[in-house]
């Protein structure tokens, strides 16, 4: 009898725990249409957000939450303590967590838990400028029809994902800081793309990515491995004034347009095996501290366009194009 009573007590407590969890979150896998304002209301109540196979109508403006914290004169931060997950959802309006009002006051957002937009489609502009992400961030397989802004975003989690993401318009990632790994593997960038002044403390993974227009990686700091293996650059690719602290990999990458490595410091191993350069490639005033880059089976289709000047490796030995074209 005591055993039966104990079993009933455990089952009763388990039910209460599950019910409590259900009440503290907004979970809907079957919703077809959701108004963005209702999501903001749920966030105001501290509810976790989860939607699958839904269409979100209207502008989803995270800065519209009422509770704001003053960071400095005319700068306000909204703290969101809920986890956010959208799986296979479509957003018909803007998605924003940054704005400047009529009085020139600026509003930013900090997400204290995970933020997931998995396999989502954004019909209008997306703006995550200056956002702080404390938890995991995952935009994998999502499609951005219009401009995507992540300028100055701060990724604090050990892993962050933009793999197989499709950017149809301009993508701005300059000044981002990633404390952990960030993954853009197989991402497609159809518009102009900016990563200047980005700081990657973890592994930066861009393997098999496709940059169809001008891309800028100027003044970046890569503290761990920086991987561009099998990536394709259809237009100009600029890496000037950047520092690669560990391995920089460009194996099997294809550079179809003008490529520039000016005043770049490579502190680790540089791999350019089977790289293909179809137009001009400029390497000037750059330093390779671990020695000559690996260039096995490299293919320079325009030898006259390869210019290596005032660049050095190892113990101050000058690096010349004869090291590549033998």
Question: Per-domain residue ranges for the chain?
Answer: 2-323
Mean pLDDT of the chain: 91
pLDDT in tens, 195-222: 999 999 999 999 999 999 999 999 999 9
Task: Write down the pLDDT at residue 29.
Answer: 62
Task: Write down the pLDDT at residue 16.
Answer: 37
pLDDT in tens, 52-65: 999 999 999 999 99
Weakest-pLDDT range from 82-91, 224-233, 317-326: 317-326
Question: Is residue 175's pLDDT more than 60?
Answer: yes
Banded pLDDT at 316 (limits 50, 70, 90): confident
Identify whether the C-beta of residue 278 lies closer than 8 Å to the C-beta of residue 259.
no
Banded pLDDT at 80 (limits 50, 70, 90): very high
How far is 122 from 16, CA to CA, in rounded Å?
Answer: 38
Strands 188-189 and 210-211 turn out to be parallel
Banded pLDDT at 167 (limits 50, 70, 90): very high
Segment 183-205 mean pLDDT? 98
Task: Write down the pLDDT at residue 20.
Answer: 38
Segment 82-99 mean pLDDT? 97
Segment 236-260 mean pLDDT? 98
Question: Is residue 1's pLDDT more than 90?
Answer: no
Question: Is residue 35's pLDDT more than 90?
Answer: yes
Q: How far from the centroid of its chain's Cα atoms is residue 116's Cα?
A: 13
Identify whether the C-beta of residue 63 lies closer than 8 Å to the C-beta of residue 42.
no
Segment 237-255 mean pLDDT? 98
pLDDT in tens, 263-305: 999 999 999 999 999 999 999 999 999 999 999 999 999 999 9
How far is 217 from 201, CA to CA, in rounded Å?
Answer: 15
Question: Is residue 110's pLDDT more than 50?
Answer: yes
Please name the residue ranges forming H helices in the chain: 2-23, 36-44
Question: Is residue 138's pLDDT more than 80?
Answer: yes
How far is 62 from 78, CA to CA, in rounded Å?
Answer: 8
Task: Write down the pLDDT at residue 319.
Answer: 87
3-state secondary structure 1-37: CHHHHHHHHHHHHHHHHHHHHHHCEEEECCCCEEEHH
Identify whether the C-beta of residue 223 lies closer than 8 Å to the C-beta of residue 201.
yes
Task: Write down the pLDDT at residue 146.
Answer: 98
Question: Is residue 171's pLDDT more than 50?
Answer: yes
């Amino acid at each position: 009898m005591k055993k039966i009573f104990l079993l009933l007590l455990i089952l009763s407590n388990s039910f209460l725990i599950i019910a409590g969890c259900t009440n503290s979150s907004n979970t809907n896998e079957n919703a077809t249409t959701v108004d963005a304002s209702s999501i903001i209301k749920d966030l105001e109540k501290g509810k976790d957000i989860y939607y699958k196979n839904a269409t979100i109508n209207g502008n989803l403006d995270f800065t519209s939450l009422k509770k704001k914290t003053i960071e400095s004169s005319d700068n306000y931060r909204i703290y969101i303590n809920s986890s956010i997950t959208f799986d296979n959802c479509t957003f018909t309006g803007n998605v924003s967590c940054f704005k400047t009002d009529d009085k020139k006051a600026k509003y930013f957002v900090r997400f204290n838990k995970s933020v997931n937009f998995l396999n989502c489609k954004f019909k209008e502009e997306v703006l995550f400028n200056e956002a702080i992400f404390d938890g995991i961030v995952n935009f994998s397989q999502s499609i951005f029809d219009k401009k995507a802004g992540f300028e100055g975003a701060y990724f604090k989690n050990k892993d962050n994902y933009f793999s197989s993401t499709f950017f149809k318009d301009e993508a701005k990632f300059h000044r981002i800081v990633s404390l952990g790994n960030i993954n853009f593997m197989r991402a497609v960038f159809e518009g102009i793309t900016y990563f200047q002044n980005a700081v990657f403390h973890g592994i930066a993974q861009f393997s098999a990515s496709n940059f169809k227009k001008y891309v800028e990686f100027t003044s970046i700091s890569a503290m761990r491995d920086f991987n561009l293996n099998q990536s394709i650059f259809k237009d100009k690719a600029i890496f000037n004034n950047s520092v690669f602290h560990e391995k920089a990999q460009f194996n099997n990458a294809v550079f179809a347009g003008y490529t520039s490595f000016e005043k770049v410091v490579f502190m680790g191993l540089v791999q350019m095996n089977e790289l293909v350069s179809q137009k001009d490639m400029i390497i000037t005033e750059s330093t390779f501290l671990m020695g000559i880059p690996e260039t096995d089976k490299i293919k320079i289709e325009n030898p006259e366009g390869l210019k290596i000047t005032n660049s050095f490796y190892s113990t101050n030995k000058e690096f010349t194009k004869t090291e590549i074209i033998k």
